[in-house]
Amino acid sequence: MKNFSKMIGIFTISAVVFLECITQASTGTIDTGNINTGIITTGTTISYTGSLVTYMNAQENAVNTLFTSVYANVYTTFTKTWLNILKSIDYQSLVCLGAIKNESLLSALQKDKTAFMISFKKDFIDLENQILDLEEKQNLQKDNNINVFDSGTTYESEKAKIKDLIDTKVQLYKSFIANFGTSYLTKNTNFLTTYFQYSTANKDLVKNIQDKMTKVQGVLNAFSWLESVITTINSKVTGLNELLAKIDDTTSKGVTNLGNVFQSLIDTNATKYKKLQTLAGYLSQQKAYVMIEYKKDLDDYVTNSFQSIYNRASFLTLKNDIINYTLKYYTPTNQLNCSSILSTTDESAALLTRINTMKILVNSWLAKIEAEGISTTFKDQLYSGFQSIYVQKYKQRYTEYTNYVKSYIATALKNFVASIVPTTPSTTTGNIIVPPQKIITYVFTKPFNNGEYNEGIKALQNLLTTVKLYNWAIDGIYSKATKDAVYKFQLSKWLLKGYEKKPATRGRMGPATRAALNQLTK
């Protein structure tokens, strides 16, 4: 707001200069020339000497030069006024408040320019083709003494008609260019007037958003300092930052490759077992879990390797929180995120406290590194260890998944066959056979994670099968199907009362869920 008077001053000067350019261009007094008389940029008078091609090219160049000059002046005016405002928090705040529309005059200007150039080029290509056709007819008449012109027309009369058409087109484009310039100057003036009026009317609301965004920027600036120090620490070992980037890239490619291998396995089995219509969906869910776990394996290795230097885990946790925090207020194109900015709880103070606490730690880490240095072998050990864990965990996760697929398909086929074979009521539940299972005495003491494998999960699957909530593979993997069964158990025991709208609690074996499961094994 405080810069608005300055902007208006700049705009006024620009507008005066711009209007003068428009006026001069329309009368042909500046060096773009008068396109009606053939005065082009060189100042040479082009008289119509009988060559239509020469005349048409001269007029085409004059129109093009005139439009280029006018467009440049319009764009210059925009960059001094509208574009500066567009980047301001004031403008974005008014858009968020719904006080003004987020209309891009620059985008409209560029679209109109493109439309003009397409039409302009097309018209002059058509004129050139007409001239070439006329010259071809004239050559035929000269060479073969054949009259190819319509009755009542001659070469000269057709030539005069095309010249008149050129002059008409030029006059139309001249008028369009003048209107183009003045209309966009008017749009720019209207925009500034509207912006000023609504900024004044909504100044208190705008100030609230400005104050909030000032806090947000303070948090982002403070975290940026932390990142720069971490980069400094890493730079103490030559090439460490580049190595970490390489590790991140390798991790992404490894996860993608593992996913592609799994997808090929899914596609093959889905084609092979077409009767199992839900097969691809369940295998895809488990695929996602295993891929997440594989990435976590690699990230954990790198994070743990840094423990002797600094607590990378706490820094990365804070970094992730900052990323999520930023997304609440800014879109990927760095505009205000209007959908949440007016309703999001302000976390700035809490985050700033965390950042300030970590600043002390970061300073101590840097002091330690500067005093003791980092072992020159650290980078080599980090990468060789990463390569080893990359291959090792890849094989482990691949084996886990393929075993899951085999077990899942075997159970699914068994259930499918049972669903189409008549059975006695005592051995069936709906269309699916539920084999009798012995309740295994097992005490559940902790929650299981997605994709985790152990004997305790087998006990859980057996238990849930017995109570007819689970009917898939007893494979010891905490899969989507297993988690869904736990969720059904929670619902049956009213264990989620008060937490129904929190998806994170569904299928998670918290203390209450574990206690209820343990009651079944007594």
Residue 406 lies in a domain: yes
Residues 111 and 153 in one domain: yes
Residue 498 — very low, low, confident or very high, per pLDDT cuts 50/70/90?
Answer: low
Residue 7 — very low, low, confident or very high, per pLDDT cuts 50/70/90?
Answer: very low
Residue that is last in its domain, among 420, 447, 473: 420
Residues 131 and 73 in one domain: yes
Q: Which of 237-241, 400-404, 417-421, 436-440 has the highest mean pLDDT?
A: 400-404
Residues 277 and 177 in one domain: no
In this structure, of 36-45, 47-56, 93-102, 419-428, the range with the lowest mean pLDDT score is 36-45
- Quick one: which H or E segment has residue 202? none
The three-class DSSP label of residue 310 is coil
Residues 187 and 260 in one domain: no
Residue 344 lies in a domain: no
Residues 241 and 302 in one domain: yes
In this structure, of 225-229, 236-240, 432-436, the range with the lowest mean pLDDT score is 432-436
Query: Which token pair is 106?
Result: 């620059």
* Residue type (1 letter), 468: K
pLDDT over 90 (residue 254): yes
Q: What is the pLDDT of residue 23?
A: 37
Q: Kindly state the DSSP code that residue 504 receives in the 8-state scheme.
A: G
Contact 506, 487 (CB under 8 A): yes
**How many CB atoms are closer than 10 A to CB 9?**
10
Residues 260 and 152 in one domain: no
> Which residues contact residue 287 at a Cβ distance below 8 angstroms, ignoring those fewer than 6 apart?
259, 262, 263, 266, 401
Report the distance separating Cα 344 and Cα 204, nearest Å.
19
Q: What is the pLDDT of residue 14?
A: 40
Residue 345 lies in a domain: no
Report the distance separating Cα 381 and Cα 385, nearest Å.
6
Pick from 196, 386, 226: which is nearest to 306 by CA? 386
Residues 189 and 144 in one domain: yes
Average pLDDT estimate for 124-134: 91
**How many CB atoms are closer than 10 A to CB 270?**
16
Q: Kindly state the DSSP code that residue 448 receives in the 8-state scheme.
A: P
Contact 127, 56 (CB under 8 A): yes
Residues 110 and 220 in one domain: no
Query: Which token pair is 134?
Result: 């006329």
The three-class DSSP label of residue 477 is strand
Q: What is the pLDDT of residue 103?
A: 62
How many Cα atoms occupy the beta-carbon half-sphere of 108 within 13 Å? 13
Residues 447 and 408 in one domain: no
Residue 500 — very low, low, confident or very high, per pLDDT cuts 50/70/90?
Answer: low
Q: Domain containing 485: what range?
A: 434-520
> Which residues contact residue 22 at a Cβ distance below 8 angstroms, ignoring those fewer than 6 apart?
70, 73, 178, 181, 182, 185
Domain count, the chain: 3
Indicate left, alpha or beta for 451 from its phi (over 0: left) and psi (-120 to 50: alpha).
Answer: left
The three-class DSSP label of residue 439 is coil
pLDDT over 80 (residue 29): no
What are the tens digits of pLDDT across the range 446-490? 888 887 778 888 889 888 988 888 888 787 888 888 888 898 888
pLDDT over 90 (residue 266): yes
Report the distance separating Cα 173 and Cα 180, nearest Å.
10
Report the distance separating Cα 519 and Cα 373, nearest Å.
56
Residue 332 lies in a domain: no
Average pLDDT estimate for 246-272: 94
Q: What is the pLDDT of residue 499?
A: 66
Residue that is last in its domain, among 173, 201, 229: 201
Contact 352, 222 (CB under 8 A): yes
What are the tens digits of pLDDT across the range 191-221? 888 888 888 888 888 888 888 888 888 999 9
Residues 56 and 116 in one domain: yes
Percent of the chain with pLDDT over 90: 25
Percent of the chain with pLDDT over 70: 83
Residues 115 and 169 in one domain: yes
Residue that is last in its domain, among 387, 420, 453: 420
Q: Which of 54-63, 70-79, 425-434 has the highest mean pLDDT?
A: 54-63
Residues 221 and 166 in one domain: no
Average pLDDT estimate for 497-520: 78
Residue 369 lies in a domain: yes
Residue 441 lies in a domain: yes
CATH of the domain at 446: 1.10.101.10
Q: What is the pLDDT of residue 42?
A: 33
Residue 195 lies in a domain: yes
Residue 215 lies in a domain: yes
For helices 378-420 and 240-272, the axis angle rounded to 10 degrees is: 10
